A = this chain, B = another copy of it.
């Protein structure tokens, strides 16, 4: 149909829409053609439990279809919240119930819910810098400002955090939300050690901030012991923890959750305007979890992605020795490659011409963007293609970096 609106749309847009354009420009180019994708945090379709989900769907539709296809309310299906509460209780070492949970359309909507319930226009949010750009986008979409907290090798700079909080406090400004991804941080792969988490938590508590703890990748740990979460360390108070089935079952479910004290959950549910996340999908995943499939699937996934990580790291060692630096992530999907000079966009562009898609690091910065990183995702690319992709990328990088 005719694409011309009679009236220019600018006069109609909310301020947040206009500001979002300023903040993020044209956005990301979609993948095109036949390329090896090292660019996005997407799971390998080989891990999708298609047969089990299909069975769970059939069972739910034929046994509980009357409820599963009906409205379910803003908190989400109690059956799934019960099962999640039980499972998370064991992981977090806290007694949790369905009241601590709201089901969401992935953890992206969980973050949106937190922003919608707590942020006013122009509010300041403190986030890691670099961090996941779509999380920044959500904060900007709520017309809030972002202060990007630089990271050292153990996570956010706590001294800087205190300085920013102190300054805001002096100026009478309340910083409500601090956004962190403490496990296998996106994009750097860093896992914050216990002391760092404790120090951040102390500051959050002192200044009355809510920590939004994004743990989309937390279940996918390939080595070492898990570090207690902010949520666990805080005894469940003042922390909103985001979780998702996107990396462990499949993003196409759009199924995640938010874990918090009941008062915070209630505040988010009260502002929910989409009548809740699909009860049908929630019933299905509850059935899938109740059968014990999920726990086994998670173990299989960890082993599968550990294999991918290990192969990827050995290929990096083989092809990037002397060209770039990186650290092995303990989990998650990403390696943060540090180049010897500012060439992230150039390498990404040239690599794409060679059929390899990577994410230039500058995209992950909210301020003081550095151009010396590439974020490489080892999750999606097929085992059989990994060597070709890494070799091609290394060839491109060597050529460009020696030329510069």
A253 interface contact, C-beta 8 A: yes
Instruction: Select A5's contact among B51, B62, B263, B278, beta carbons within 8 Å.
Output: B263
Bitwise interface map of A from 265 to 283 toward B, beta carbon under 8 Å scored 1, else 0: 0010011011111111101
Please determine whether B273 and A254 come into contact, CB atoms closer than 8 angstroms.
no
Cα distance A116–B66 in the bound complex, in angstroms: 32
The one of B58, B72, B280 in contact with A58, judged by C-beta atoms closer than 8 angstroms, is B58
Contacts of A104 in B (CB 8 A): 274
Q: How far is the CB of A360 from chain B (nearest CB, A)?
A: 20
Proximity string of chain A (1-35) to chain B, C-beta cutoff 8 Å, 1 when within and 0 when not: 11111110101111111001100000100100000
A99 within 8 A of B: yes
Which of B5, B73, B270 meets A238, CB within 8 Å? B5
Chain B residues with CB under 8 A of A121 = 121
Interface residue A286 (Cβ < 8 Å from any Cβ of B)? no
Q: A62-B54, A274-B105, A275-B254 in contact; A14/B70 too (CB < 8 A)? A: no
Q: Are B261 and A100 in contact (CB under 8 A)?
A: no
**A71 touching B42 by the CB < 8 A rule?**
yes
**A11 contacts which chain B residues (CB < 8 A)?**
174, 208
How near does chain B come to A122, taking the closest CB pair, in angstroms?
A: 11
> Smallest distance from the beta carbon of A53 to chain B beta carbons, Å?
6
**CB-CB < 8 A to A58: which residues of B?**
54, 57-58
Q: Is the CB of A65 within 8 A of B42?
A: no
Of A89-97, A159-167, A188-196, A394-402, the one touching chain B: A89-97
Q: Taking the complex as formed, is A228 at the interface, i.e. its CB lies under 8 A from any CB of chain B? A: no
User: Which single residue of chain B is at the shortest CB-CB distance from A274?
Assistant: B109
Q: What bracket does the count of chain A residues touching chain B fall in?
A: 35 or more
A178 to chain B, nearest CB (A): 13
Q: Is A307 an interface residue (CB 8 A)?
A: no
Q: Is A61 a contact of B57 with CB atoms below 8 Å?
A: yes
A254 — which chain B residues lie within 8 A by C-beta? 274-280
CA distance A281 to B261 in the complex (A): 31
Name which of A4, A7, A100 has the most chain B CB atoms within 10 A of its CB: A7
- Contact A252–B72 (Cβ < 8 Å): yes
A108 pairs with B273, CB closer than 8 A: yes
Q: Which of A78-110 contact B (CB under 8 A)?
A: 94-97, 99-100, 104-106, 108-109
Residues from chain B with a CB closer than 8 A to the CB of A57 are: 54, 57-58, 61
10 contacts between A and B (CB under 8 A): A1-B100, A2-B237, A6-B238, A12-B118, A27-B270, A57-B58, A68-B252, A69-B250, A105-B275, A254-B277
